[in-house]
C-alpha cells in the first residue's frame, strides 16, 4: 500500500520514503498499469480524445487539450477517425472506458454517434458541437463571428460579397451561413444567389468554390470563406484567375489556425479562442471526473476579428460605378 501511494503520488508517504520507492521503481523499469488502476476503482490520470485529425482546426484543439491536461497532471490518449469513417464509436468507447477517466470528443456528430456516446459510462465533454448532444459543450459564438466578418467587409465598402459555405451537417457551418444571409439583408448587400457556393470546410472545396465565383459575369469584390482552409484554397483560385488579393478581391476566413498568418498575403480572419476552448474542455471534464457538475451545459466563447493583409477597400472603379437592379454594383 505504501508503494502504491508513492508511485501514484497519493498522500500518506513521507518525502524520503517516496523518493526511495520511486528510485527502486525506476531501477526495476516499473510502469504503472493504467487499466488496472481504473478497474480497481482508482483514477488513471489519462484523458481520452476522439477526433478527426484531418484539419488544422482539430489538430490545434488536440494540442491544446494535451497542454492543459499535462498542466493538471493528466496524460492524453487520442483516437483519430478518418474523414470517411461514419461508424459509431461504441467499440472505441468500450476500450477507452478501461483506460481513461473521461473523454473529450471533437466530431461532426450524427444521431448514431450520439446514441453511442449516451450509452458510455464515462464523463464526456464535446467541443464545437451545437446539436442536441446531452453533454457539456464548449463552443465559439459562430453566428457573431460571421457577423464580424461581413461587417468588416461592408465597412471597407464592399457590396458584392461572395460566401464559401462550410459543411451544412455541422451546426457551426449553419450558424455562419445564417449570419451571412442575415447581415446581407440587414446591410442591403447584393443578394445574388450565385454568390453563395459550398466548400465543405476543405482547401480543395474552397479552391473549386472560388473558381465558380471567378467565372461569374460579375465576380464579387470580396469573399467570406467559412473557415481558413477553404480561404487558402480560394486564394489559390483567385491567383489562377489572374487576380490578386486584396487589390482585386478581398478575402476573409474563420478560425485563425496557424496557416492563416503564414500565407501571402496574411489572411484576415475570425479568431476562435482555440487555447481557451481546449482549456475549458479539460477543466470541465476534470470537474465531472471529480463529481462536480459542470457550470453550464454550453460554454459559449467570444470570437475576435483579426485584420491582416488580405482585406482592403474595393477597387476604385467598382466604387465609382452606380448600383444597378437588385442593389448590385455595376
pLDDT in tens, 20-69: 666 665 655 555 544 444 444 568 899 999 888 878 899 999 999 999 99
d(CA 290, CA 288): 5
Q: Report helix, strand or coil for 196.
A: strand
Q: What is the mean pLDDT of residues 284-312?
A: 92
> Regarding predicted confidence, which is higher, 26 or 143?
143
Q: Which residue has the cell 531501477?
A: 27
User: Which of 7-16, 40-49, 277-286 holds the top average pLDDT?
Assistant: 277-286
Q: Range(s) for CATH 3.40.50.2300 in the chain?
A: 43-135+275-302, 142-268+307-327
Q: Measuring CA to CA, how many Å separate 296 from each of 104, 131, 134, 282, 300?
A: 16, 16, 12, 14, 10
Whether the Cβ atoms of residue 270 and residue 253 lie closer than 8 Å to each other: yes
Specify the range with the lowest mean pLDDT, choosing from 19-23, 99-103, 207-211, 220-224. Answer: 19-23
Whether the Cβ atoms of residue 50 and residue 103 lie closer than 8 Å to each other: yes
Q: Which residue has the cell 464545437?
A: 128
How many helices (H) and strands (E) in the chain? 12, 12
Nearest-5° Cα angle at 154, 149 to 159: 120
Lay out the sheet containing 298-301: strands in order across.
75-80, 46-51, 102-106, 124-127, 137-140, 298-301
Model confidence at 330, in pLDDT bands (50, 70, 90)?
Answer: very low
Q: What is the mean pLDDT of residues 70-99?
A: 78
Whether the Cβ atoms of residue 105 and residue 48 lie closer than 8 Å to each other: no
Nearest-5° Cα angle at 96, 90 to 98: 115
d(CA 321, CA 210): 24
Q: What CATH fold (topology level) applies to the domain 43-135+275-302?
A: Rossmann fold (3.40.50)
d(CA 80, CA 51): 5
Q: Which helix (H) or strand (E) holds 132?
A: none
pTM of the entire structure? 0.81
d(CA 325, CA 7): 75
Closest CA to 146 of 307, 71, 255, 220: 255
Whether the Cβ atoms of residue 274 and residue 61 lie closer than 8 Å to each other: yes
Nearest-5° Cα angle at 136, 133 to 138: 100
Cell numbers at residue 153, please?
A: 467587409
Share of the chain above pLDDT 90, in %: 59
Q: What CATH fold (topology level) applies to the domain 142-268+307-327?
A: Rossmann fold (3.40.50)
Amino acid at each position: 500500500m505504501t508503494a502504491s501511494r508513492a508511485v501514484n503520488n497519493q498522500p500518506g508517504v513521507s518525502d524520503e520514503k517516496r523518493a526511495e520507492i520511486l528510485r527502486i521503481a525506476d531501477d526495476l523499469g516499473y510502469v504503472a498499469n493504467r487499466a488496472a488502476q481504473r478497474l480497481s476503482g482508482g483514477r488513471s490520470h489519462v484523458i481520452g480524445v476522439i477526433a478527426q485529425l484531418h484539419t488544422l482546426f482539430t489538430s490545434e484543439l488536440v494540442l491544446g487539450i494535451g497542454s492543459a491536461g499535462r498542466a493538471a497532471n493528466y496524460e492524453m490518449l487520442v483516437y483519430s477517425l478518418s474523414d470517411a469513417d461514419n461508424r459509431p464509436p461504441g467499440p472505441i468507447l468500450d476500450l477507452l472506458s478501461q483506460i481513461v477517466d473521461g473523454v473529450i470528443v471533437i466530431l461532426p456528430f450524427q444521431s448514431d454517434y450520439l446514441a453511442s456516446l449516451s450509452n458510455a459510462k464515462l464523463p464526456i465533454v464535446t467541443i464545437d458541437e451545437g446539436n442536441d448532444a446531452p453533454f457539456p459543450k464548449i463552443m465559439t459564438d459562430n453566428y457573431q463571428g460571421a457577423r464580424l466578418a461581413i461587417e468588416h467587409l461592408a465597412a471597407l465598402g464592399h457590396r458584392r460579397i461572395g460566401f464559401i459555405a462550410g459543411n451544412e451537417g455541422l451546426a457551426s457551418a449553419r450558424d455562419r451561413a445564417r449570419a451571412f444571409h442575415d447581415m446581407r439583408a440587414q446591410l442591403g448587400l447584393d443578394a445574388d444567389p450565385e454568390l453563395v457556393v459550398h466548400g465543405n470546410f476543405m482547401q480543395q472545396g474552397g479552391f473549386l468554390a472560388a473558381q465558380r465565383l471567378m467565372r461569374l459575369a460579375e465576380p464579387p469584390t470580396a469573399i467570406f470563406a467559412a473557415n481558413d482552409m477553404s480561404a487558402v484554397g480560394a486564394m489559390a483560385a483567385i491567383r489562377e484567375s489572374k487576380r490578386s488579393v486584396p487589390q482585386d478581391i478581398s478575402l476573409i476566413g474563420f478560425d485563425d489556425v496557424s496557416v492563416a498568418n503564414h500565407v501571402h498575403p496574411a489572411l484576415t480572419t475570425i479568431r476562435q479562442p482555440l487555447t481557451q476552448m481546449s482549456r475549458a474542455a479539460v477543466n470541465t471534464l476534470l470537474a465531472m471526473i471529480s463529481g462536480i457538475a459542470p457550470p453550464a451545459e454550453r460554454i459559449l466563447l467570444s470570437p475576435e476579428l483579426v485584420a491582416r493583409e488580405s482585406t482592403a477597400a474595393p477597387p476604385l472603379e467598382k466604387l465609382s460605378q452606380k448600383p444597378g437592379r437588385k442593389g448590385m454594383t455595376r
